[in-house]
Structure 1
Amino acid sequence: MRDTDRYTIAHTPISSLDLMERAAAAFVRKFVELYPDRNQAILVCCGTGNNGGDGLAIARLLHERHYDHIRIWVAHFSDSESNDFRSNLKKLAYTFIPVEIFVHADELPRITEHIVIDALLGSGLNKPLEGLWLALAKHINEANRPVIAVDMPTGLSADGKIYKDWECLSAKDTISFQRPKLSFFFPESVHASRFFHVVDIGLDEDYMSGLESDYYLFEEVDALTTIKERLPFSHKGTYGHALVIAGSARTMGAALICAEACLRTGAGLTTACIPASGLIALNARLPEVMALERDKLIESELPYQAIAFGPGIGTDEENKHLLFHILQECKNALVLDADALNILAADPNWKERVPAGTIITPHMKEFDRLFGQSESWYERVQKAKHAATEWKLVVVLKNQYTFVALPDGRVIINTTGNPGMASGGMGDALTGVIVSLLAQGYDSKEAAMLGVYLHGKAGDEWAKDGYALIHATQLIQKIPMLLQASCSLCKK
């Protein structure tokens, strides 16, 4: 971001001060949308660098929009001031907004305003808060007011390396410039910022897109360019045959959810390999899905375009033997989830057993069983990245923002999904979606990225309809409509 700032200033007719004004204006537009009540009193807390300069400009622009109850604190904890900070401080002389400058944290009075805007340090910090800055952050947090951070909450590192003992200013909303910061996608960031919003400040997009990065967002435009249209004269054979090996006598729900997700995502044929005790449930719930009894699998050929193994299957010796048979015999696309991963975690040689191109879909605990405990989500993602490149796997590390680590070293961050999806069966549904896409001819990278996107998007559609809690069987129902809507958009 700093590189793009410099490039934009050097190659377009705009000064750094004008770019700061543009950023402040973008912040204010979003702020007004979030907090439209102009009678609320606002405290703007500024440092003396460029983030503080943003804060001073924001205070002035809010005042021009008739937010009349504004006060500014300047934390002058060092002798350094940026030129743009000084320029914006001079502009405030004509507004009569009160400005209080503090050189010691013990001077701070009680915060009486309704809202605090955090423009103290921004994205430049790469170490924990300490001394005066830490005291100031604690003072603001203790006031228990909604905090809106400018670009980054004070104390949060931007690059994802968030450690347990870091203390931050706790923001309700962060209004981030041009791009979300990597840290926003890690669960540890929630204590520093509950929600983030991205505003365009007019940086050079072509230049930014050309910069090297291992991290990418998967958004709607990516889904639209990935989805394959179903063509005239195609038939069930065109869209592949998927095998779902899942469920046990006590966990047939996992097999039913996985198979239904596979069916509704568009696989031409779906077969569920289940225990004999589950046949009645399968036939009653999903008459379109064929059945293969579990004890007959080893004797059977594997004429499937894609196989999913694991949801609700158990980890006993029989299933361990079955998994190793599939790993040895499977020549096509493979998804491993849930108990398949737990079986592998107990085998020190599991990496040699898993074919290249396999998709694994662990949640945090399953991932740690496979790859060892991690101190942070950043460390966990680095391990996923290493595993993907070293063993040519696609690692789908599940969370609210799911990370898809690819064999080429890229980490794709999914942008769909919501907390209402935190319920049992969601992982089973995701496995069904992914194996369905594999059966239809998507490669492992496409199936993982698109599958995670569609899964989260279906949850978002239910949330849009007002559902605070979403069940896996509900979510599955939305997927055919999403695919149809996406294909319609593609045609346009």
Structure 2
Amino acid sequence: MQTILTAAQMRQADEHTISQRSISSLTLMEEASRAFAEAFVHCEPDRKISIHIFAGQGNNGGDGLAIARLLKAEGYPQVQVSIAAFTGGESPDFSENLIRLRQAGIEPVWIKDQSADFSEPATVVIDAIFGSGLNRPLSGGYAWLAGRINAMSARVYAVDIPSGLSAEQPFAGAYTCIRAQQTFTFQRPKRSFFMPESAHAQIGFTVLDIGLDESFIEAQPTDMYLLEATDIKALLKPRLPFTHKGTYGHALLIAGSPATMGAALLAASGCLNAGAGLTTLAIPEQGLTALNAALPEVMAMTDHSLFEAGQLERFAAIAAGPGMGTDAKAVSKIDSLLETGRPLLLDADALNILAEKHWVERLAPGSVLTPHMKEFDRLFGVSDSWSQRLDRAKEAAVRYGLHIVLKNQYTFIVGGQGHIFVNPTGDPAMAQGGMGDVLTGILTAFLAQGYPTAEACKIGCYVHGSAGSTLAKDQFVVSASAVAARIPLELKSLL
């Protein structure tokens, strides 16, 4: 599990590494620039391309000058450098790299006003204007330059962070930035990279190891952590000899309505494939034929018997919501579940009922909510940004003792201690209906198997996304049913 730090903390990591290794900041800059150049060569092996590097006058610009020199040494003869010098002075390391750049035979062009001409086309642009220290939107000449670069037909690579994107949280709205095809970022992804607003500035990012002291970075206080495969492997328990279906828990899913049985079946499939020993689906009687035909391994409970005395005590984990509707009957079910005082997993329609009735305070501590953005905003108020949404999720998780699985490209798992765990798995190919229903089933299966709530959320989100990512290697789109069927293979590969 990796700590995700602020820009200020990463600068402290730079300083600590420089001190510990007894090297200069210029040496560390050279190592970072070399890591960038190596990654660039891998992506752009054709030495005949023309490269235009735009550099600022700070340390990010110093990286850009060093990259220009290194790429020329790698056999790229067409490297042009332009320096954006609208305001401010030079950092010492920039100045030294400017000397080295000229010694390598590259004379940069200085851009000091908005009359500069970029008539010479380039195949590739490298953005090294502003680094992670930027704390206000681009304006003036820098905003103009960003617009000119974005108007080029070149492929754009950003050094550490696209210029105009804040490292902590993206600026609101359609902020001005250089839009990068790929960012090569140093040692850790920036916090903002996991927020949807960052898509305005970059399509993807790759993390490059530049030799910073990992023990120092991991020891820094933070509220955000990035999950890794090793974390999930450490949490998963192998199936031992002489265990049986009773060992792995009995899960109850309350889902579906006569018109929306698909959601119930997808949730049950997720639960079944994630390893619950027994899965029971509480559905309207009209859905029994569909269930028996599609998932004969799953048991059924009809609505009228759901709350008979002692029925719910049989289950190790209870989830509700997918496809159940929001009519009076569905509201009554959620009301009755909340009356039990048991921790619940609530998704979809159950979340909408919770929001409409203002019943969040009735949730038992240890409950899990799995909202997408709109469901979350109905529950906890409309947020102006994902950063604000995460703050509200932390506040709610701590206040009510909940686990909130806030779904998106990078799903945020927010626990009752106020920690945010970022799930890195998943793929845009999964952008189809039913994925959340499958995730509900998967999470319920791990809860039924006795995993602590925090562990169940981490494992469930990771393998759900991993299954989709695996399938997306060979498919343009991935269905929720295919993801559910893939789960046992993902778990086996992790073990």
TM-score strictly above 0.5 = yes
2:275 equivalent in structure 1: 266
Contact 2:158/2:183, CA 8 A, preserved across alignment? yes
Q: Give, as a single letter, the amino acid of the residue that structure 2 aligns with 1:337.
A: D
Percent identity of paired positions between Structure 1 and Structure 2: 49
Aligned match of 1:85? 94
8 Å Cα contact 2:170-2:197 kept in structure 1: no
Distance 1:264 1:79, change over 3 A: closer
- Contact conserved, 2:396 with 2:402, CA < 8 A, in 1? yes
Match of residue 314, structure 1, among 325, 331, 339: 325
Residue 457 (structure 1) aligned with residue 466 (structure 2):
yes
Q: 1:470 aligns with which of 475, 478, 494?
A: 478
The residue that corresponds to 1:62 in the other structure is 71
Farther-moved stretch of structure 1 (402-411 vs 75-84): 75-84
> Which residue of structure 2 aligns with residue 344 of structure 1?
354
Structure 2 counterparts to residues 140-155 of structure 1, below 5 A: 140-155=149-164
**Contact 1:162/1:378 (<8 A) preserved:** no
Q: Please state if 1:49 is matched with 2:62.
A: no
Alpha-carbon distance, 1:191 to partner? 1.2
3-state SS of 2:318 partner: strand
CA contact (8 A) 2:371 2:406 kept: yes
Query: Residue 170 of structure 2 contacts residue 198 of structure 2 at CA under 8 Å; is this kept in 1?
Result: no
**Equivalence map 1:221-370=2 (5 Å):** 221-300=230-309, 301-302=311-312, 303-329=314-340, 331=342, 333-348=343-358, 350-370=359-379
Looking at structure 1, the residues matched to 184 and 36 of structure 2 have their Cα atoms a distance apart, in angstroms, of 6
Moved more, 115-124 or 97-106: 97-106
Deviation at 1:295, TM superposition (A): 2.0
Aligned-partner residue type, residue 138 of structure 1: G
Change in Cα spacing, 1:111 to 1:120, as seen in structure 2 (3 Å) is farther
Please give the TM-score of this superposition, normalised by the length of structure 1.
0.97
CA–CA distance in structure 2, aligned partners of residues 395 and 111 of structure 1? 51
2:429 aligned residue (420, 426, 435):
420
Whether the 8 Å CA contact 2:256–2:263 is kept in 1: the answer is yes
The answer as to whether partners of 2:137 and 2:171 remain within 8 angstroms in 1 is: no
Comparing 95-104 and 204-213, the one that deviates more: 95-104
Contact 1:73 1:101 in 2 (8 A): yes
2:3 aligns with none
Which residue does the alignment assign to 1:490? Answer: none
Distance across 2 between alignment mates of 1:37 and 1:395 = 47
User: 1:447 — aligned with what?
Assistant: 456
Equivalent residue letter for 2:118 = P
Aligned-pair distance for 1:351?
2.1
Deviation at 1:161, TM superposition (A): 4.0
1:349-371 deviation line (CA, Å, top 9, x unaligned): x1221111000000111111111
Structure 2: gaps (5+ residues): 1-9
SS of the equivalent of 1:107 reads coil
**Which deviations, in whole Å up to 9, do the C-alpha atoms of 1:174-229 show, x marking residues without a partner?**
10000000111111111101111100000000001000000000110111111111
Deviation of 1:381 after TM superposition, in Å, equals: 1.0
Distance 1:261 1:79 in 2: 57
Per-residue deviation, 1:330 = 5.1
Check whether the contact 1:334–1:435 (CA below 8 A) recurs between aligned residues.
no
Maintained 8 Å contact 1:111/1:140:
no
Q: Following TM superposition, where does structure 1 have runs of at least 4 consecutive aligned residues deviating by more than 3 angstroms? A: none
Deviation track 1:336-359 (CA, whole Å, cap 9, x = no partner) reads: 0000000011113x1221111000
> For residue 196 of structure 2, what is the aligned residue in structure 1?
187
Matched position secondary structure for 1:105: coil
Paired with 2:128 and 2:454, the residues of 1 have a C-alpha distance of 40
Partner-residue secondary structure (3-state), 1:375? coil
Q: Which amino acid aligns with 1:338?
A: A
- TM-score relative to the length of structure 2: 0.96
Count of residues in correspondence between the two structures? 484
Q: Distance in 2 between matches of 1:218 and 1:162?
A: 25
Contact residue 371 and residue 383 of structure 1 kept, 8 A? yes
Instruction: Tell me the distance in 2 between the aligned counterparts of 1:76 and 1:126.
Output: 18
Deviation at 1:111, TM superposition (A): 4.8
Q: Distance in 1 between matches of 2:485 and 2:40?
A: 36
Q: CA deviation at 1:101?
A: 1.1
- Bigger shift: 59-68 or 296-305? 296-305
Counterparts of 2:103 and 2:97, CA distance in 1: 11
AA partner of residue 337 (structure 2): I
Question: Structure 1: how far apart are the matches of 2:385 and 2:214?
Answer: 31
Checking the alignment, whether the CA contact within 8 Å between 1:111 and 1:143 is kept in structure 2 is no
Once residues 481 and 114 of structure 2 are traced to their aligned partners in structure 1, the CA distance between those partners, rounded to angstroms, is 54
What is the RMSD of the two structures over their aligned residues, measured on CA atoms?
Answer: 1.1
Q: Distance in 2 between matches of 1:36 and 1:160?
A: 33
Question: Cα offset for 1:143?
Answer: 1.6
Name the SS of the counterpart of 1:452 in structure 2. helix
Matches within 5 A, 1:425-444: 425-444=434-453
Q: Structure 2: how far apart are the matches of 1:260 and 1:137?
A: 48
Moved more, 88-97 or 413-422: 88-97
Q: Does structure 1 conserve the Cα–Cα contact (< 8 Å) formed by 2:229 and 2:494?
A: no
